[in-house]
Structure 1
């Protein structure tokens, strides 16, 4: 009888392990799908950002962007569509996270882009997966296999290749703008690593709510302060009479801020920081396709070659894992 009980208990244990592994796999698949959706939204956001900045200035655009994003999540909470833990005493742990993103990331990006061409900025932002991998290995002790490191470099090289073929080169003489953009890159990498750790304690939606609230308060404070100094407060709202600006801000606020923040936080709860960060390069592929389809921009052979390298790098980073690394990732 004792032998039969052991066999029965062993069978139940195997079934439970198989069921648990199935849940893990579904979580990973969903994380990859969300990462793909996230890359598409970010890739399209470049088009809407260009439209908005042509009508308004970068700080006002960020203020309206986070206003729409925060109003969206507030409405969802008010109508009880989603639940958020509103106990403020638990949110102090998230303040350092919100300094990295959205505060530092968008602020240094906005001022850096004023003096650095977008082609140079694209090359600098391609380094984010490398920076994230280094920070994650140091602070989170996340391990990446040699194949994953090679895949990350392949993806980064794909972005470098596209922008260099477009005539992009990083000019050291423009060191102020480059420094600001590098701080922006480090800020996003810092957010990715820190969020990965905090998601063991906080729910993705709770972090998203707090991030958007800080973004709303910070960028509106700066925008209003600037307009008061310039005695142009009324002009701040003139862009809202432009339909193209409103459509752009709705996309940037609801999809490119609220949805992408929520997706990013969910993804980081399922996969490692380095795996998540390499998906950021996919936005380059999306922006190329969007430019060709929507703006009728020409797509050259170097676009295709670079995009192929990016895609190969993303796939390799997320598939070429050692078994012990995979176990650490899903736990």
Structure 2
């Protein structure tokens, strides 16, 4: 084994330093988690340029806002026509519509941004607590304007997120930021690729997805347990990405990037195998399963909705947003956003 380790150190091109872990067995894809076709036949709205509308937000007029990998921020009218709002100069991920009509953008390269309809881009934060924001990812905004957001990794940029999942060293953070005062504080660290963020309707707690551990954590914001961190939903059937704040119907929507990947789980306990995996050519890397899947969880973290698509459905799904008529979906790599009638929730 020492010889193998020496060889791996010599050939390693990634700098990955895996930590052994033992993922729980994936839930059976039966019952609520069984195959479904609710997300088939989604209507697609193409980005005029670029790809990867990773998140989707909806304004008060029903228009959808998203960002692509070329740095452009787009707004789609209700008939699917796109207008360019701004160019962030980076890679926009999470998007929120603010009460004043401006947009809060988590840009993986530039940090927390505020953007207006004239195209003006303002950097609100590009570091937190003395550490640069390496992968500013997703956010939720409270009624008081306070921003809850994730910095996914202190080790690898977005382009190498696969290496963070293979390493499993847990360097992600959930942060709270008040743009009015500039005050920044840490709500949770040690997270396995901190990702989607959602606020409870009463803002008594916030949830954050740990993509690398297939779970979602909960952080208390009020009451005698304020600051306490707990596991809210564990051993999900897929790889969680963005999370919405709780809807009026009490649902937190969670986008699943992929169903669980057996090979990724199989090598998890063996750091040397993960170094080897990290250095394999792309065409033999563990590949996400291209099936659309979103979950709806109640306030207690119980899965109450599981909406899926079959082969050829819109994937990988990384963002989801509900309106009265539609579920809008985003993707890290697709060339379009997608929508399906909200009526599929009850199908």
TM-score by length of 1: 0.22
Higher RCO (CA < 8 A, seq sep 6+): 1
For the pair shown, the structure with the greater C-alpha radius of gyration is 1
Larger helix proportion, structure 1 or 2? 1
TM-score of the aligned structures, taking structure 2 as reference length: 0.22
